[in-house]
Each structure stands twice: as structure tokens, then as C-alpha cells.
Structure 1
């Protein structure tokens, strides 16, 4: 079983294995803080995405590399957005996505997909079925991260779908630790949605 799960790492450097594990740990911390609606989701997430930016460039996984650059940028925006106060209260609490934001979400998904296709075509990366799946999950995660930064509960649904797809995808690519990370992400995202739903319902009852 151990060989089946981790034999892919035989040719990896110790540094890359250490960085991947570290990135996974901070990634899990970030999702856990997101579940708790805690602003620490962003600093822990930035550490994780910064590590994976380096690793994914080394692994030549351009779609995932692009995702993590975007994650880092949106984490800075989300950090600022979540920290804003108005008369001592959180200015942007958990909420449902609006009709206007739904239109923006579709636009972000389509634009992201087009950009990734252009990048993959330019670098001649459409040589495996995984590239097409990467294109789809990149679009999902771009929209999901945007919605999370805006504190919209629907972002959990996109995370769940993207995480489920990513578990076998990363294992197939040979990155077992990252695959396990997405498996745990899926579980946390499921409970995160439930927890945010309770918080949102409570706030609506009080208003």
C-alpha cells in the first residue's frame, strides 16, 4: 500500500517533498479557518499558495500554477474585504450570491477557461486528458476563490466539486500528498458549507 501511494516520489528531491508537505499543511489550515469564518484563512492560504507556485512551476503544471498565483492575489483582496468594519460590525458578513454576482461568476469562468486554453495551446500542453480536466477545474476554482473573498456561501459548492475532481487527478499525476490534501479539503468543504449555512440562517433570523 505504501509503495502504491508514494512510489511516485522515488525520483523527487527531499526539498520538493518537504515543500509539498508544508504547503499541504498550511493549505489544510487555511480551509479549516475558512470553515470557521476566520480571517486567518488568508495568511495561511498565502503561505500555501506561494509554496505551490514554486512547486507547480517546477512540475510544469501551468493551469495549477496559474490558479495559485490568482489565489495569492485574491487572498490579499479577501483579507482586506473580510477585515472591513462598519460601526464596529463586519461590513461584509456571510451572504448568498446576488443575480449580478452570478453573471460575474459565469463571466469569470468563461474568461478563465479561454485564458487557460490559450496558455496550454501556446505551450503545447494539450497532450493528455488531464489538461482538459485542468482547464475545467481552473475555471471552477477561480470563481470559487472570488466568491470566498466576497464571503458568499456558494463558494463551498464550487470547492466541493473541484476538490472531488482533483483527488484522483493529482494522484494520477503522481502527487499523492496533494491528492490527500484535496480529499481532506472535500470533507472540510462539506462541513464548511453546513457551518456557514447555520451562521447565515442565524444572522437572517436576527435581522
Structure 2
């Protein structure tokens, strides 16, 4: 049993206790945020804000710039998403779940490419192209940027980006020595699959003509 424990958590030996506690808190609120997102619940944003704020601090301390930028972006988009989700489209209805339009697909492509360029410039400036993980970071950052933007707009397709990014992040974070965060992203992958199905059902129900 001890060798298995050491395999998963040996990375934490020597970590400041405060960092470990903060990571646990961030992971818990991250779980809550994704679960609330699956349920189309506005609490996705306050819980997400707490989680991302903590991760921004931790990732800055660990000098993981790409991951830090992802969470800083999540933080700002959570504020925007909170506003969009509580905005009424008419007197009785709030922003509904919808599919992306052709224009929004082009906007998503632009965000993806612009994010890749931005991350490249940041890593180039800080001379962080010293490991293969930096290249994966650039891609996952772009994927998650699009996913967060689409989630703020309540687009079903946001879950596809979350699933892709989560699948990549599971081994990536474990390799970086962040076992708890790796486990978190594994759970995120499962929740995102169910979230995608739940939002599809929600959309079909909204589009179903009501019986008089």
C-alpha cells in the first residue's frame, strides 16, 4: 500500500503545508463548480471564482505560467458568465442554453488561435520553452479559453472543449507533480461527459413545442 501511496503523493513531500491545504480547497470548489455547471446552476460561478483565485496564486508560486493564465482567464470569465446567466432575455426568461452559431464558431476559432499566439509570446518572454509540457500547456490553454467563453454564453458545445482539455490535463498535471489536481481533472472529464448529455436534453426540452 505504501508504494502506491508514494507513487501518487511523493510529489508533495517537502511542499509547504499551506500550499497543500490551498490546493485541496481549490480542488473541492472546482468540483462544486463543475457539478453546478452540469446542473445549469448559477452557483457554478461563485464556486468557480474561489477555486480559480486560489489556483492563480498557487500556479504563480509554482511558476506554471500557462496554467496560471488559464485560471486568471477563468476568474475574469466567471464574472462575465455570472452576469450573462442572470441576464433576462425577456420579462420572464433568463439566457437559455443554445447551440453555437456559425459566427460563434468562427469567433471560437479566433479565440483559439489568438490564445496560442498570446501564450507563445508569454512563454517566449519568460524563456519557458524548456520542456515539452510548455507546448501542451499552450494547446490546453487555447482549448480551455474557448470552452470557458462558450460556457459563459450557455453554448452546449462548451462541454466538448472541456472534455478534450480535461483528458489532456489528467496525465499532464500528474507529470507536473500535482496529483490532487490530476485526480480533479479525471473527475472533471466524467462530469463533463454527463454535463454535455444533460445540456443536450435541456436544449431538446426547450425546443420541444408545448402542448396546448
Taking structure 2 as the reference length, the TM-score comes to 0.96
Q: CA deviation at 1:13?
A: 0.5
The aligned counterpart of 2:31 is: 28
Aligned residue for 1:11, secondary structure, equals coil
Do structure 1's residue 94 and structure 2's residue 97 form an aligned pair?
A: yes
CA distance in 1, matches of 2:24, 2:169: 17
Alpha-carbon distance between aligned partners in 1 of 2:182 and 2:114, rounded to the nearest angstrom: 27
In structure 1, the partner of 2:134 is 131
- Of 15, 18, 40, the match for 1:37: 40
Partner of 1:24, secondary structure, is helix
SS in 2 for 1:199: helix
- Between 1:79-88 and 1:177-186, the stretch displaced more is 79-88
CA deviation vs aligned residue, 1:6-39 (integer Å, no higher than 9, x gap): 0000010100000000000000000000000001
Aligned: 1:114 with 2:120: no
Give 1:206 deviation, angstroms.
Answer: 2.9
Mapping 1:10-21, distance limit 5 Å: 10-21=13-24
Question: TM-score scaled by structure 1?
Answer: 0.98
RMSD: 0.7
The equivalent of 1:196 in structure 2 is 199
Corresponding residue of 1:64: 67
Equivalents in 2 of 1:194, 1:98: separation in Å?
Answer: 19
2:83 counterpart residue number: 80
Partner residue of 2:176 out of 144, 153, 173: 173
Indicate which of 9, 12, 23 corresponds to 1:6.
9
Q: Distance in 1 between matches of 2:19 and 2:42?
A: 29
Distance 2:14 2:59 in 1: 16
**Could you say which residue in structure 2 is the equivalent of 1:182?**
185
How many Å separate the matches in 1 of 2:114 and 2:93?
Answer: 35
Aligned-partner Cα distance in 2 for 1:203–1:59: 45
Alpha-carbon distance, 1:173 to partner: 0.3
Name 2:152's counterpart in structure 1: 149
1:153 match: secondary structure: coil
**CA separation in 2, counterparts of 1:144 and 1:13?**
32
**Are residues 1:49 and 2:52 paired?**
yes
